[in-house]
Copies of this chain bind each other. A is one copy, B any other.
Amino acid sequence: MQKPRLMTPGPAPVPEDVLLELARPVIHHRSAEAKQVIVECAAGLKDVFRTANDVLILTASGTGAMEAAAVNTVPRGGKAIVLNAGWFALRWAKICQTYGINAVTVDFEWGRPVDPQRVENALKEHPDAVAVFGTLSETSTGTGHPVEAIGKVVARTDAVFAVDGISGVGAMECRTDAWGIDLLAVGSQKALMLPPGLAFLAVSEKAWKKIDAFDAPAFYFNLKSARKKMADFDTPYTPAHTLILALRQSLRRLQAEGMENVWERHRKMSEACQAGIQALGLELFSSRPAEGLTAFRVPEGLKDTQIRGKLSERFGITAVGGQDKLKGQIVRVGHMGYMDELDVVSGLAALEMVLAELGYDVEPGRAVTAAQQVLIGPRSAAAVG
């Protein structure tokens, strides 16, 4: 028997009751029933994203929401600052290139957080920048960026702040309005506990002003059309509405838990995972880890494919390796969405056994114990000790 355990930084596991929503008979997307589902989802998304602004629902992967944010906000020939600190941040630059947006990249070492001071400098140097494109959780390096601090810097300028929150939102604190995020792109398949296929985009008034100022080269991803339809709780084209049905259910779950508790759960999973990894003598890749995934360097003498292959073969665990220049150098373990503390503990137990079987010098139980100590808190740990 092999029991599948999805521990990738997206897609993340989906609760059974959410999956079952997908198996319900299809309804017409313009029916009163379908509209009521969108009414509820619109309210739930605002709560989860901590925004009073419109949240648009797109049938696409998260990349579609990034593209929509960029092409609708910055006209061809306009300037944008890209906070380039990983593979997915680079996607902003590629989107800009495709649409003739003049992307000024501010480069950071992969695995290091964006420095808000450098963002401030870049904005001073480029006062004509229409937008700053950043990332909440850089999935390729497992790094969480200081979006709140960057948001403060951008808010003082005329530029809008667009954030790729695809693997971040839900897995780490993100207060869209309070932090000055003008465009927040989110995907369904991460901490929102859904299969892939939907993307979301929260848009501020400041962003709408930029959007309303020109005719964007966007049809399917035209935000003006989407806003007009959303005002009536509708979408411009036929949406993936079985996924929207499931979204309603996952939003109910998130709201029942409460976003502060959801963030806290992910923070704990993240800290426990980091403690476990380090207790094995492994090195974390990021100097400021994201809270929905943990990336560690492949130890000397082993290959990432050996570790991941054996995790899969022995325990049905899917983890992923590095992308682009990090290929073969890191392993990334997801702990977001429908996962809890015990999933992290058992994942670490599996990693210990797999490393031991691969001949790596590891003392089984050390990672588990270190994680447990994080999870039960210092006082309880002391009492047990």
Interface residues of chain A: helix, strand, loop or mixed (majority): loop
Across the interface, do A61 and B221 meet the contact criterion of CB distance under 8 Å? no
Interface-lining segment among A3-11, A38-46, A272-280, A341-349: A3-11
Indicate if the CB atoms of B67 and A220 lie closer than 8 Å. Answer: yes
With A61-B238, A98-B218, A219-B99 in contact, do A28 and B8 touch (Cβ < 8 Å)? yes
Contact A195 B241 (CB under 8 A): yes
A320 within 8 A of B: yes
Q: A59-B61, A63-B238 are in contact. List 4 more A-B contacts (CB 8 A).
A: A4-B25, A22-B23, A59-B64, A195-B242
What residues of B have a CB within 8 angstroms of the CB of A23 in the complex?
A: 19-20, 22-23
Bound form: Cα–Cα A239–B197 in Å: 6
Q: Which residues of A, 23-74, contact B by the 8 Å Cβ criterion?
A: 23-31, 59-64, 67
Complex interface: chain B residues within 8 A of A238 (CB): 10-11, 61-63, 187, 189, 196
User: Quick check: is A293 within 8 A (CB to CB) of the other chain?
Assistant: no
Residue interface bits A137-175, CB-to-B below 8 A is 1, else 0: 000000000000000000000000000000000000000
Q: Kindly provide the distance from the CB of A1 to the nearest chain B CB, expressed in whole angstroms.
A: 15
Contact A13:B25 (CB < 8 A) given known A238-B187, A241-B196? yes
Taken together, the copies of this chain in the complex come to 2
Measured between alpha carbons, how far is A197 from B29 in the docked complex, in Å? Answer: 12
Measured between beta carbons, the chain B residues less than 8 angstroms from A62 are 237-238
Please tell me if A95 contacts chain B, counting CB pairs below 8 Å.
yes
Could you tell me the distance in whole angstroms from the C-beta of A250 to the nearest C-beta in chain B? 12
Whether A6 and B25, one on each chain, are in contact in the complex, defined by CB atoms closer than 8 angstroms, is yes
23 A-B contacts (beta carbon < 8 Å): A6-B26, A13-B25, A13-B26, A14-B26, A19-B23, A20-B23, A22-B22, A22-B23, A22-B195, A22-B242, A26-B196, A31-B318, A59-B59, A60-B64, A60-B220, A63-B238, A64-B237, A99-B217, A99-B219, A189-B238, A195-B242, A196-B239, A196-B241
Interface: A240 (CB within 8 A): yes
How many angstroms from the CA of A27 to the CA of B151 in the assembled complex? 35
State the CA gap A29–B189 with chains docked (Å): 11
Among residues 190 to 208 in chain A, which have CB atoms less than 8 Å away from a CB atom of chain B? 195-197
Which one, B6, B197, B217, contacts A28 given CB within 8 A?
B6
CA separation between A350 and B343, bound complex, in Å? 53
Q: By the criterion CB–CB under 8 Å, are A27 and B4 in contact?
A: yes
Q: Is A130 an interface residue (CB 8 A)?
A: no
CB atoms of A19 and B14 under 8 A apart: no
